[in-house]
Amino acid sequence: MQTPLQTPPIGVLVMAYGTPRSLEEVEAYYTHIRRGRAPSPELLQNLIDRYQAIGGVSPLNEITRAQAEGIEERLNKSNQGSFKVYLGMKHNAPFIADAVADMAQDGVSHAVTLVLAPHYSTMSVANYQKAANEKATELGHPDFVHVDSWHLEPKFIELLSDRVAEALKLFPSKDAVRVLFTAHSLPERILQVGDPYPTQLRETGDAVAAALGLTNYSFGWQSAGRTEEKWLGPDVLDVLRELHEAGENDVVICPTGFVSDHLEVLYDVDIECQGLAKSLGMHLERTASLNADPRFLDLLSDVVLNRAKDIPGIGQ
């Protein structure tokens, strides 16, 4: 029989990328991303234009908070103890360090961390975990156990499969449709250290394809940073051009590495990719984001509960 969780509750640090809450915050936000280097006036205006194109503000903060609240609600209905969820953002308040400080102030001694990204990379998830660990070490607690990835969780594959299946219904013949699984590109140098990120994306896509019996599918990268170094490819825009040249004009993009509607989905896919597709005479559809889908929140709470078993005294 499982040992009841002690008081104070087990902490859960839900971490996400963050986004500006208004156009006035765009410069500070991207200055933080660029490690203190402000974007040029041209780049800043381009970024502001992108946010204006999706309505002036990204819904990511609101969605992330709904996700965190939904996870906490499910954890505390699980009959497996008391949990308190804290939300920490990488690039805007509340920052990860602030959330860890709140946990320490509340007397939380043990906690699970969960990054709202399914695939692990040394340049993404690992950096979130590092930020949490550094602040916890400074304060003396809490002790963290980390969720590294959840890219092959059965419920995740089921959710993506359902969304791909719904998108395929929008075409006369699904057999002629190319399904394109995408994730945020990262600098190509991650390949030199054997980073699992590209492999995990392929594993997710392969699992969804197997569940649906898909044979016409491939992978692409999107939203690469504006730096001089080489990023993972092929870029999704190049893939669309190549498909068109090969006579394939029906495409479903499944932004597999993104769990919420935000700029990289609402602009990069819905506006940029869609605009290119229309100019080429292609029919492009995108799968619906997971956002705060109750089934998605069930999945995330299950992932946290499973990881909490590794906290001393919990999983006995």
Cβ atoms < 10 Å from Cβ of 222: 24
Domains of the chain: 10-150+293-308 (3.40.50.1400), 154-286 (3.40.50.1400)
| Residue 120 marked as a ligand binder | no
**And the tokens for 62?**
């609101």
| Residue 82 marked as a ligand binder | no
Mean pLDDT within 286-290: 98
Q: Which of the 8 DSSP states describes residue 193?
A: G
More confident position, 98 or 225: 98
| Residue 202 marked as a ligand binder | no
pTM: 0.94
Helix (H) or strand (E) holding 186: none
| Residue 58 marked as a ligand binder | yes
% of the chain at pLDDT higher than 90? 93
Q: Determine contact, residues 263/56, Cβ cutoff 8 Å.
A: no
How far apart, in whole angstroms, are the C-alpha atoms of residue 288 and residue 265? 10
| Residue 264 marked as a ligand binder | yes
pLDDT > 60? residue 4: no
| Residue 34 marked as a ligand binder | yes
**Residue found by looking up tokens 């402000």 in the block:** 38
Q: Encode pLDDT of 7-45 as tens digits.
A: 679 999 999 999 999 999 999 999 999 999 999 999 999
